[in-house]
Amino acid sequence: MPRDHIDFISSYCDRWCERCAFTERCANYSVRIATGMCEGDHDAAIELAIGVAQPVGKPRDQALSEGLLRELGDVVVSDLDLDEHHRLECARRARLERLPLTGMTDTYTRRAVGWLQAHGESPEGTTDSALREAFAIVGWDVWLIGAKIHRALRGRDAARTGEWPADHRVQNDWNGSAKVALLLLSRSERAWRAIADATGDEQAAILADGLRLLTRAVEREFPDAMAFVRPGFDEGDDS
């Protein structure tokens, strides 16, 4: 399979592969397709899509296991280490749950999912292609918006506590995640307004207004997010 992949491109996309111009350069997409070709054999799919160096003079599985052991060296994870990791994660979760942005994000997700469940995945009986597209967008983005915002918050918190490296002010995972969230928020806000205009649905208009407020909150928390350059998508882009 083609292997001219762009590193980390799938980390900062909307996962809508059917609409993406970069699928041929995405390792994640290649593995997904290869998994189907290999009838669910994930190891074979990775080898087909990405490639595995073939060992000389010993079975491939043995060579891979030995290589992994060499990389791990003498690393031993003790019960105390696991307890400390659990303590840090619980403390982080508590910190993030207290943030206003977390509450705003979860409120939007809950209300948007409720609206979609009540109205279905697409407008019944309509021939309006723009309205169908708006439904498709809000349905696709509804869970991803929250996932990207929570990932941005978690990554930034881990950097502040020294658990993640923070060697670049702009090009870091939390800014990249926040940028994707902002792009999704803008897209979904336009879609909700299209739904509200076409149907007169007051709740759709309220959800659009909520996304406008959520966008401002993300911008305040991550002022450098839009300067992040996403691999592939933003190369050569001054945004």
> What is the per-residue pLDDT across 132-148, written as a single tens digit (0 to 9) for each?
999 999 999 999 999 99
Residue 61 CB-density burial (10 A; 0-12 exposed, 13-18 middle, 19+ buried): exposed
The predicted structure's pLDDT at residue 40: 67
Handedness of CA 21, 25, 29, 33 (dihedral sign): positive
Model confidence at 122: pLDDT above 90: no
* Tens-place pLDDT, residues 146-179: 999 999 999 999 999 988 888 899 999 999 999 9
State mean pLDDT over 110-131. Answer: 88
Taking the C-alpha atoms of residue 18 and residue 196, their distance in angstroms, rounded to an integer, is 26
The predicted structure's pLDDT at residue 56: 52
Q: Are 52 and 64 in contact (CB under 8 A)?
A: yes
What residue ranges do the domains of the chain occupy?
A: 9-72, 99-227
CA distance between the termini of the chain? 33
Residue 155 CB-density burial (10 A; 0-12 exposed, 13-18 middle, 19+ buried): buried
Task: Kindly report the pTM of this predicted structure.
Answer: 0.81
DSSP structure class, residue 38: T
Model confidence at 238: pLDDT above 70: no
Model confidence at 209: pLDDT above 60: yes
Beta strands in the chain (DSSP E): none
Q: Which residue has the tokens 């001054």?
A: 238
Residue 39: phi, psi to the nearest 5?
55, 45
* Tens-place pLDDT, residues 88-107: 889 989 999 999 999 999 99
The predicted structure's pLDDT at residue 73: 62
Please state the separation of Cα 22 from the chain's center in Å: 16
The predicted structure's pLDDT at residue 239: 46
Instruction: Quickly name the fold that domain 99-227 has.
Output: de novo design (two linked rop proteins) (1.20.1440)
State mean pLDDT over 63-82. Answer: 65
Model confidence at 2: pLDDT above 80: no
41-48: long-range pairs with CB below 8 Å, 24+: 48/1
* 125 band by pLDDT with thresholds 50, 70 and 90: confident
Of 10, 37, 41, 12, which Cα lies nearest the Cα of 26?
10
